[in-house]
């Protein structure tokens, strides 16, 4: 009985801790500035390489290329948005 109660409390507290930490981590990401967009672009390039590497390791070459292209496209989009925001800030 004690073990079940302790296990229930542990799972509940862990769930609460994880739910609050993810909410605060999402609030720290700022994509409204040009610097934030550039950071997001770099993170997306990291995801591109990681996902492609995992797929190639498992022998899925076509899927790796598709995912790499999608992530690279998203990275380019973020980089372009960041450049646009920086240029409009300098001009205005």
DSSP of 3-72:
HHHHHHHHHHHHHHHHHHHHHHHHHT---SSHHHHHHHHHHHHHHHHHHHHHHHHTT-HHHHHHHHHHHH
Residue 59, pLDDT score: 94
**pLDDT tens digit sequence for 12-69:** 777 777 766 655 555 566 667 888 989 999 999 999 999 999 999 999 999 999 999 9
**pLDDT tens digit sequence for 57-67:** 999 999 999 99
Residue 14, pLDDT score: 73
Q: How far apart are alpha carbons 57 and 89 in whole angstroms? A: 44
Specify the higher pLDDT residue, 21 or 85: 85
CB of 67 closer than 8 Å to CB of 51? yes
């Amino acid at each position: 009985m004690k073990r079940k109660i302790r296990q229930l409390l542990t799972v509940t507290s862990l769930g609460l801790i994880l739910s609050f930490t993810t909410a605060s981590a999402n609030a720290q990401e700022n994509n409204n500035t040009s610097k934030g967009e550039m950071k997001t672009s770099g993170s997306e390039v990291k995801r591109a390489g990681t996902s492609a590497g995992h797929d190639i390791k498992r022998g899925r070459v076509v899927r790796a290329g598709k995912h790499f292209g999608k992530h690279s496209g998203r990275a380019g989009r973020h980089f372009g948005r960041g450049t646009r925001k920086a240029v409009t800030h300098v001009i205005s």
